[in-house]
Amino acid sequence: MKVAIYSSTTQESQRLKRMIIQGLEQNQIEYDEEHPTVVISIGGDGTLLSAFNHYQDQLDSIRFVGMHTGHLGFYTDWRTFEVFDLIESLKNDSGQSVSYPLLNVDAKFSDGTKKHFVALNESTIRDMVKTMVCDVYINAELFERFRGDGLCISTPTGSTAYNKSVGGAIMDPKIVGFQLGEMASLNNRVFRTLGSPIIFGADAVLTLRLNDDSTAVLSCDRTQLMLGNTRHLMELTYSVAKQQIKFAKFRHTNFWLRVKDSFIGGES
Report domain extents, the chain: 2-96+249-263, 102-242
Q: What is the CATH topology of the domain spanning 2-96+249-263?
A: Rossmann fold (3.40.50)
Active site residues: 45
- Between the alpha carbon of residue 254 and those of residues 47, 160, 186, 258, 260, the distances in Å are 20, 14, 38, 7, 10
133-148: average pLDDT: 97
Q: Which CATH number fits domain 102-242: 3.20.20.30, 3.40.250.10, 2.60.200.30, 3.40.640.10?
A: 2.60.200.30
pTM of the prediction? 0.92
Is residue 227's pLDDT more than 90? no
- Between the alpha carbon of residue 54 and those of residues 118, 157, 198, the distances in Å are 12, 19, 30
In sequence order, the β-bridge partners of residue 47 are none
Query: Do the domains 102-242 and 2-96+249-263 match in fold?
Result: no
Look at residue 252 in the predicted model and tell me its pLDDT: 66
pLDDT band at 120 (very low <50, low <70, confident <90, very high): very high
pLDDT band at 205 (very low <50, low <70, confident <90, very high): very high
